[in-house]
Amino acid sequence: MKKIILLSLLMTQLLTANVFADTTLKTSDVFVTATRTPISKNNVIADVTTITEEEIERAGSSSLTDLLQRQPGIEIYNSGGQGKVSSLHIRGSESDHVVVLIDGLRVNQVTSGLTAFENIPLSQIEKIEIVRGASSSLYGAGAIGGVIQIFTKKGVSGFKPYAAIGYGRYDTKTAQAGIRAGNDSTNYAINISSLSTDGFSALKTNDPIFNDKDGYNNLSLSGSINHKFNQDNSIGINFIKSSGNNKYDNRFATSFIDYKNKMDTQATGINFSNKVTNDWQSDLKIGQSIYKYNGHDGVSWTPNISKQNQLSWLNNITLSLGSLLLGYDFNRETINKSLEYDKSERNNSGYLVGYLLNRDNHNLQLNYRVDDNSAYGKFNTGNIGYGYNLNKQWNISSIYGTAFRAPNFMDLYFCSSYGCSNNPNLKPEESKNIEASLRYQKDEDKFSATIFKNKIDNFIQLDSGYIPQNTEKAKFEGITFNGSTFVDHFQLYGNVTLQSAKNDVTNQKLLRRSQQYGNLGLNYYSGPWNMGTEINASGSKNDACDPFEFSCPIKIPGYAVVNLVADYKINNDMKLNLRINNLLNKDYALAYDGQPGATGDYGARGFAYQTAGASFFINLRYEPQ
């Protein structure tokens, strides 16, 4: 703790140093995920966010979920540190109501529908695009709350190697290196990274059964190569493989057991980009994503392998007024047959037609999609969005869309030797989302306010026998404010979401959702220095409970956490980054496992999942310019 205080004082002194030159932030103006075709971000109608490479580098040793938690409308819960199960809510929607893509390929687990965010390393990521709101008319099943697309590091012009090493509390060590290079016709990239941390006890307790260090280590590799045959035709290949080893706690254990798991996230794709005519752009992607989970309960390993074989063909046709998008998606989901599921595969075909118009002060987007699934048949979704530029700075927009989530393999097919907990008669969840935004942008000053309402029918929840049922309706509504402004060398930025997420039949609040949460930050840019402070805050929320074991509801208190960050540009090729997270050593929790401190009628103990205390991380990066 003394070391952290000393580092904090050092950063305070740096903030008052006399430095003279100015620093300009650069962000990409092109957005892809909201329309499935490149478009100026200023013409996007949906509520979107871009996380840039600079922002990712400043995150230090933080996890992907830590970075996502700072974005508007996103809440995170984690089960005890790096490598532990992590999930998110976009505007209060379920954690499996988001489609997650890596370079255009779905990477969710086929069995549960969830994404292993905890096993996707920031060190391999160049950019992240987030779309909030119903997006099934573009991406099919699962996009009720939105879409998160991760872009891995790609080749650039010239020859640009890089390397970085880092160290922080909990004996956290990182290393990464890579080459990004290319010329007018061919570019390529190869990136490798490692992370290891001793971590801390996943459960907050002094009980010797659980109070050990639950560490995590990860080794990741990604790469790409892209070749242009000419200005109109190119081919590209990209891949990522991330292997993690994790230790965790199980509150039902009665003696010390070294619970652990191995995770492996892979995605490989080949892309063909062809300009068939002056007005017809064709993009074909063929790929496969694999998620392997191997859990050890102290006795034996249990493998779980999910595969998704995917094909996507998009055709963008320029019209005299606007452009037409015609698309076809195919996805074959499979799991290993050794698992206790009634079925091990299913296929989905999606047919998409869209229209996009950006003319004068008007922006229009129309999409319609039909999904045909071997498990549940056909499902139709659509959306209509319109934006109008009031002047050069102000814009108003509104979008209405429908979406759905298909029941996952666990919901439909899981039936073990201990009994069945599936429901083969489940229907897809159906949602209707409407939102409206007011946006302002002048140079680097930005502000937006988005009001939203998302209603879900056939909401899937577990009944008293833990069998999934289409018995409920859910409603998510609220407003998100987001903005940033520069005053001389200072940047003030922040976002806040006020929301209601509840069962629309019983009026009960849904679990692990706060009614208010947000972030506030202040950056100082001058000369070689880039320094700032962040405050991440959330109100209280309810967590899951078993009425036979504990008193309900269980309430998780709200919190506010202060972080500090500083970048120092040593020279044109080297940069030093320092982060201090949870500066005030706040004792808080994102999720519970049972009721902390309680012992149920059947001897089940309850705990808070532990979060990191005050901690630092220093990173040195070398990247010739």
Average pLDDT over residues 377-402: 96
504-550 tens-digit pLDDT: 998 989 999 999 999 999 999 999 999 999 999 999 999 877 655 55
Give the per-residue pLDDT at 465.
Answer: 77
26 confidence band (pLDDT: 50, 70, 90): very low
Average pLDDT over residues 30-53: 94
402-434 tens-digit pLDDT: 999 999 999 998 887 677 788 999 999 999 999
383 confidence band (pLDDT: 50, 70, 90): very high
Q: Which two tokens stand for residue 34?
A: 């909201």
Encode 543-587 in three state secondary structure.
Answer: ECCCCCCCCCCEEECCEEEEEEEEEEECCCCEEEEEEEECCCCCC
CB 368 within 8 A of CB 402: no
pLDDT at 45 exceeding the cut of 80: yes
310-344 tens-digit pLDDT: 999 999 999 999 999 999 999 999 998 777 888 89
pLDDT at 5 exceeding the cut of 70: no
Bridge-based pairing state of the strands 146-152 and 98-102? parallel
Give the per-residue pLDDT at 419.
Answer: 72
260-274 tens-digit pLDDT: 999 999 999 999 999
CB 312 within 8 A of CB 288: no
198-211 tens-digit pLDDT: 999 999 998 888 89
pLDDT at 1 exceeding the cut of 90: no
- In degrees and rounded to multiples of 5, residue 610 shows phi and psi of -80, 145
What span, in angstroms and rounded, lies between the C-alpha atoms of 575 and 14?
A: 15
CB 423 within 8 A of CB 468: yes
pLDDT at 118 exceeding the cut of 70: yes
**Other residues' Cβ atoms within 10 Å of the Cβ of residue 78:** 26
Name the DSSP class of 338: T
Q: Does 91 or 16 have the greater pLDDT score?
A: 91
Dihedral class, residue 66 (left if φ above 0, else alpha if ψ from -120 to 50, else beta): alpha
Q: Where are the domains of the chain?
A: 2-622
Give the per-residue pLDDT at 517.
Answer: 98
Q: Does 467 or 455 have the greater pLDDT score?
A: 455
Give the per-residue pLDDT at 9.
Answer: 41
348-375 tens-digit pLDDT: 999 999 999 999 999 999 999 999 999 8
Report the chain's terminal Cα–Cα distance, integer Å.
37
Give the per-residue pLDDT at 13.
Answer: 39
- Where would I find the H helices in 36-128? 53-58, 64-69
Give the per-residue pLDDT at 550.
Answer: 59
Average pLDDT over residues 596-606: 66
Average pLDDT over residues 208-216: 92
pLDDT at 283 exceeding the cut of 80: yes
Give the per-residue pLDDT at 8.
Answer: 43
- Where would I find the H helices in 112-160? 136-139
pLDDT at 230 exceeding the cut of 90: yes
- Please state which of the four CATH numbers 2.40.50.140, 2.40.170.20, 1.10.287.110, 3.50.50.60 is assigned to the domain occupying 2-622: 2.40.170.20
Dihedral class, residue 314 (left if φ above 0, else alpha if ψ from -120 to 50, else beta): beta
Q: Angle CA(266)–CA(64)–CA(440) in degrees, nearest 5?
A: 120
Give the per-residue pLDDT at 599.
Answer: 66
Give the per-residue pLDDT at 547.
Answer: 57
Give the per-residue pLDDT at 144.
Answer: 97
pLDDT at 624 exceeding the cut of 70: yes
CB 199 within 8 A of CB 216: yes
CA of 338: how far to CAs of 291, 308, 333, 414, 416, in Å?
16, 17, 15, 12, 11
What span, in angstroms and rounded, lies between the C-alpha atoms of 412 and 274?
A: 40
**Other residues' Cβ atoms within 10 Å of the Cβ of residue 99:** 27
Average pLDDT over residues 587-592: 95
pLDDT at 11 exceeding the cut of 70: no
What span, in angstroms and rounded, lies between the C-alpha atoms of 524 and 510?
A: 39
pLDDT at 603 exceeding the cut of 60: no
CB 307 within 8 A of CB 142: no
Give the per-residue pLDDT at 17.
Answer: 37
User: What is the chain's length?
Assistant: 625
CB 555 within 8 A of CB 570: no
Give the per-residue pLDDT at 301.
Answer: 83
